[in-house]
Amino acid sequence: MKFEKTPGWLDWYAGPSKPRFKLPPGSVDAHCHVFGPGEQFPFAPERKYTPCDASKEQLFALRDHLGFDKNVIVQATCHGADNRALIDALKSSNDKARGVVTVKRSVNDNELQEMNAAGVRGVRFNFVKRLVDFTPKDELMEIAARIAPLGWHVVIYFEAVDLPELWDFFTALPTTVVVDHMGRPDVTKPVDGPEFELFLKFMREHANVWSKVSCPERLSVSGPPALNGEQNAYRDVVPFARKVVETFPDRVLWGTDWPHPNLKNHMPDDGLLVDFIPHIATTPELQKKLLVDNPTRLYWGA
Ligand SMILES: O=C(O)c1cc(C(=O)O)oc(=O)c1
């Protein structure tokens, strides 16, 4: 099937620079996606956007170019609960990729077992209203109970303003819980203000909660963007991500978020995005935990 991209869609950055920051051996890009290709793996009818293609080959080429060893591929909402593109990527990764899927209540145990064998280790629950239609919480809780015995975890994506309303649901989840993009803080508010403090409290009081300190390119308001050799990109996000890394060094993950769906004003150079890492994980010890030890433990069980 031929797909028309959403008007104004920004394609991923071709020809990214080589990062100056040398990733430690065994580093994992713990949040990235594949899109289609649409002709082979059609986008879901219920999707809220139609992206450009971003294939497994292109993702693996980026991994090698940037110096990552492995990927965690997260089901993107444009594929709904049809995980075929993701599973196909996992199967051709030579054990160098794990996956996080989206499933419906109707998924059966055989299907879950097959996904597990392919390298799936989690399900994603999405509460960002511009991306998905509402799914009742009892349905999500039923899915969480079904995947818990497999040792899988739940990835949650939500906006900071919605955390109070979602708190009881999140804290009742029976698995490890991984928050996408720090729960999307409003970085124009103070890092020690009540909104971000609630997020820190969520992590402090619940030892099963982890966070991806990813997506400065999405959260940043004043930049500057990771373009044209910028070595101090997204300065306004640094205090937030650094606070999470330093407070919870054993429960943080980092990912490129390639191919960066739904960005509106620029598309980052992924090489320069990697150069953001030493600003938020400032010592070799913190960098190794963030990039190697934590994701390897969670996704490869080591
Ligand atoms: O903020 C977003 O637009 C976004 C979308 C998706 C997705 O469509 O799955 O995933 C992300 O990690 C971020």
Task: Report if residue 21 sits inside a domain.
Answer: no
141 lines ligand 1 (CB under 6 A): no
Task: Report if residue 23 sits inside a domain.
Answer: no
Which amino acid, residue 74? V
- By alpha-carbon position, which residue is closest to atom 3 of ligand 1? 262
Interface pTM, i.e. ipTM: 0.98
- Which pLDDT does position 13 carry in this prediction? 98
Whether 144 has a pLDDT exceeding 90, the answer reads yes
Cα 51 to Cα 11, 38, 109, 236, 239, distances in angstroms: 8, 9, 31, 28, 31
pLDDT in tens, 75-91: 999 999 999 999 999 99
257 lines ligand 1 (CB under 6 A): yes
Q: Are 257 and 298 in contact, with CB atoms under 8 Å apart?
A: no
Catalytic site residue from 257, 269, 270, 275: 257
Domain count along the chain: 1
- By alpha-carbon position, which residue is closest to atom 5 of ligand 1? 261
- By alpha-carbon position, which residue is closest to atom 12 of ligand 1? 257
Cα 264 to Cα 8, 35, 52, 219, distances in angstroms: 8, 18, 14, 12
Q: Which atom of ligand 1 lies closest to the CA of 218? A: 1
77 lines ligand 1 (CB under 6 A): yes
Q: What is the DSSP letter of 124?
A: E
Task: Report if residue 79 sits inside a domain.
Answer: yes
Task: Report if residue 2 sits inside a domain.
Answer: no
What percent of the chain has pLDDT above 70? 100
- Ligand 1 centroid to Cα of residue 261, in Å, is 6
Q: Are 230 and 49 in contact, with CB atoms under 8 Å apart?
A: no
76 lines ligand 1 (CB under 6 A): yes
- Which pLDDT does position 302 carry in this prediction? 64
Q: Which phi and psi angles does 82 have, rounded to 5°? A: -100, 100
Q: Which atom of ligand 1 lies closest to the CA of 180? A: 12
Q: Cα 136 to chain center, whole Å?
A: 23
Question: What burial letters (b/e) apply to 217-226, b meaning 16+ CB within 10 Å?
Answer: bbbbeebebb
CA dist 33 and 59 (Å) reads 8
CA dist 187 and 272 (Å) reads 20
Q: Which atom of ligand 1 lies closest to the CA of 76? A: 9
CA dist 170 and 161 (Å) reads 14
The helix or strand, by DSSP H or E, that contains position 36, with its residue range, turns out to be: none
The whole-model pTM stands at 0.98
Range of the domain at 135: 28-300
Instruction: Please give the structure tokens belonging to residue 216.
Output: 């400065």
CATH code at 113?
Answer: 3.20.20.140
Task: Report if residue 16 sits inside a domain.
Answer: no
pLDDT in tens, 226-265: 999 999 999 999 999 999 999 999 999 999 999 999 999 9
Nearest 5°: the CA angle 162, 51, 144 is: 45
Task: Report if residue 3 sits inside a domain.
Answer: no
Q: Is 180 a catalytic residue?
A: no
Task: Report if residue 132 sits inside a domain.
Answer: yes
Task: Report if residue 43 sits inside a domain.
Answer: yes
261 lines ligand 1 (CB under 6 A): yes
Q: Which atom of ligand 1 lies closest to the CA of 48? A: 8
